[in-house]
Amino acid sequence: MVDWTEKYRPTTLSEVRGNNKARDQLREWADTWENHGDAVILHGSPGVGKTSAAHALANDMGWPTIELNASDQRTGDVVKRIAGEAAKSGTLTGGVSGRRIVIMDEADNLTHNADRGGSRAITDVVKSANQPLVLIANEFYDMSNSLRNACETIEFRDVSARSIVPALRDICRQEDIEYDDDALDAIAQNDSGDLRSAVNDLQAVATTGGRLMREDVVTGERDTTSGIFDFLDDLIKKQDAEGALKASYDVDETPDNMLNWIEDNLPKDYEGQELADAYGYMANADRWLGRVRATQNYKYWRYAGDNMTAGVAVARNGTKGGWTRYGPPSYWRKLGSSRGKRDTRDYIARKIAEESGISMSTARREVIPFLAEMTHHCKNRELTVTMAARYDLEEKHVSFVTGSGKTTNKVEKIVADAEERKHELAIEHSGGAFEEFASDSVSDDAESVQGDGDGHEDKGDGSDPEPRESAAEPEPTDAPESGNGQSGLGDFL
């Protein structure tokens, strides 16, 4: 059986349903591509016509199409080889003016760990391509910041039921299917803005024979959740307290994440007293979430949810109109930008904790700040070398503690000296094992060296026995001993 979503896929942009503004923006991007040369990201929910619009544009422009799927081609080398080559000059492809269009579907899948450089590679391709390049994404903010900034962006909104119904009606007429208008309305309402799902549902119920009636359509809840942006729009602009609370039930976000989303986007529409009142409810929600973290009693989540949804809606003074560009929490962006620093700090804290027998928390709060002060800019070079040797630190770790910024020749020399210091200490504390095995004068007959049983060694040459150092006796040191509960900084000094 022929798939109707493919059979009735739009062949021209004029046939794209429900996203007239996005359709016109895409056509303008193509018409002016010679002037700007930018790639474009088409983003929106699944089934709203993004990929269909890209192929329809290619037909309108007379551009041959090269289609890639980011889920299948996710390594950096593959992306550069396939997408990079595809985005180069296309004079041999037969397209109008030598142009061809490269369409990469599921481009938002390039950001996960498994991509092995795919996101960086496609960003490089985008910046260097001399052919039109279209990226398709369901989750716009799953794409890297650098990739989003390098492209034009066009949002495809969910297709309204009143736009879905005419598309279903046209299909019925071409397939000679008799129908009741109520049946098509039910399908359109049941598919929540997903035109592709609506066409699939129509094909499923219309091929059973006879007239398509309202009772033939099974109306049930689809396994979907409300998008965070739709929820923010309802909460901040439209819903009353009860409606806002119910809308939050369909959002696939933890209460902590939802709090961050609401907190950052509130000032875009609220102001004055209503903003102050809304933040008051947000503060209450944050206190309840704090109790959850402290007690692990997740029953408190409901009180946090009441405050951050119903409370925020109550604080609104009337309804809000227009369209607002909501974005992810700035807190997340700050975390992302500081993640490398936090990883470096935690590595150093772990090394200190393992060496000194203290917790990582103590190492972070008490030891690292003192080390940073004492080794600032590596001015106390001997102490810096000792620190690097003691805690097995590399160049980036020494630069982090000393505040030297990027790795310098001075830091590299310090780490090299620390490696030599570690080697010397290893020999010193080996009990002479390395020296014995390295010496050519040592006989294979180990029995020639005997102990006299009283802590002296008999060399076997008739000379007086010499005192033997006991491995159990530590070397004397002027450093104070670290007592129980101490940070371990005394041991280092």
Tokens of 88: 């180069």
Residue that is written with structure tokens 């080889």 in the block: 81
Nearest Cα neighbor of 217 from 234, 198, 232 is 198
pLDDT tens for each residue of 231-241:
898 899 988 99
Alpha-carbon separation of residue 241 from 90, 234, 244, 248, 475 (angstroms): 57, 11, 5, 11, 72
Overall average pLDDT of the 417-421 stretch:
88
**Confidence label for 333 from pLDDT (cuts 50, 70 and 90):** low
**Confidence label for 479 from pLDDT (cuts 50, 70 and 90):** very low
| Cα–Cα dist 491/493, whole Å | 6
Spatial contact of 164 and 140, defined as CB atoms under 8 Å apart: no
Length of the chain: 493
Residue that is written with structure tokens 């035109």 in the block: 195
| Cα–Cα dist 327/232, whole Å | 10
Nearest Cα neighbor of 228 from 322, 110, 328 is 328
| pTM recorded for the entire structure | 0.47
Nearest Cα neighbor of 136 from 128, 127, 147, 145 is 147
pLDDT above 70 covers a percentage of the chain that reads 72
Instruction: Characterise 296 by phi-psi region: left (phi > 0), alpha (psi -120 to 50), beta (else).
Output: left
| Cα–Cα dist 73/225, whole Å | 28
- What is the CA angle 382-388-394, rounded to 5? 135
| Cα–Cα dist 209/212, whole Å | 8
Collapsing DSSP to helix, strand or coil, 153 comes out as strand
Give the model's pLDDT for residue 43: 92
Q: Give the other-Cβ count within 10 Å of 221's Cβ.
A: 8
More confident residue, 339 or 423: 423
In this predicted structure, the answer to whether residue 213 has a pLDDT above a threshold of 80 is: yes
Nearest Cα neighbor of 374 from 407, 398, 342 is 398
In this predicted structure, the answer to whether residue 4 has a pLDDT above a threshold of 60 is: yes
Q: Is the dihedral of CA 74, 75, 80, 81 positive or negative?
A: negative
Helices of type H across 94-194: 118-128, 145-149, 161-174, 181-190
Strand order in the sheet with 39-44: 65-69, 101-105, 133-137, 39-44, 151-156
Spatial contact of 216 and 205, defined as CB atoms under 8 Å apart: yes
**Confidence label for 489 from pLDDT (cuts 50, 70 and 90):** low
Work out the mean pLDDT of the chain and round it to a whole number: 77
In this predicted structure, the answer to whether residue 356 has a pLDDT above a threshold of 50 is: yes
Nearest Cα neighbor of 247 from 262, 235, 229 is 235
More confident residue, 69 or 155: 155
In this predicted structure, the answer to whether residue 441 has a pLDDT above a threshold of 50 is: no
pLDDT tens for each residue of 77-120:
555 565 555 556 554 444 445 788 888 887 877 654 444 456 67
> To 10 degrees, what angle do helices 118-128 and 76-86 make?
20
Describe the chain by its helix, strand, coil percentages, rounded to 5.
60, 10, 35
> Which range, of 140-149, 276-285, 440-449, averages the lowest pLDDT?
440-449
> Which range, of 212-216, 243-247, 374-378, averages the lowest pLDDT?
212-216
β-pairing, 133-137 with 101-105? Answer: parallel
| Cα–Cα dist 474/483, whole Å | 17
| Cα–Cα dist 301/299, whole Å | 5
Residue 178 buriedness (CB in 10 A; 0-12 / 13-18 / 19+): exposed
List domains and CATH numbers for the chain.
4-156 (3.40.50.300), 161-216 (1.10.8.60), 228-328 (1.20.272), 338-428 (no CATH)
Q: How far is CA 153 from the centre of its chain?
A: 20
pLDDT tens for each residue of 146-200:
888 889 999 998 888 888 999 999 999 998 888 888 889 888 888 767 888 888 8
| Cα–Cα dist 362/358, whole Å | 7
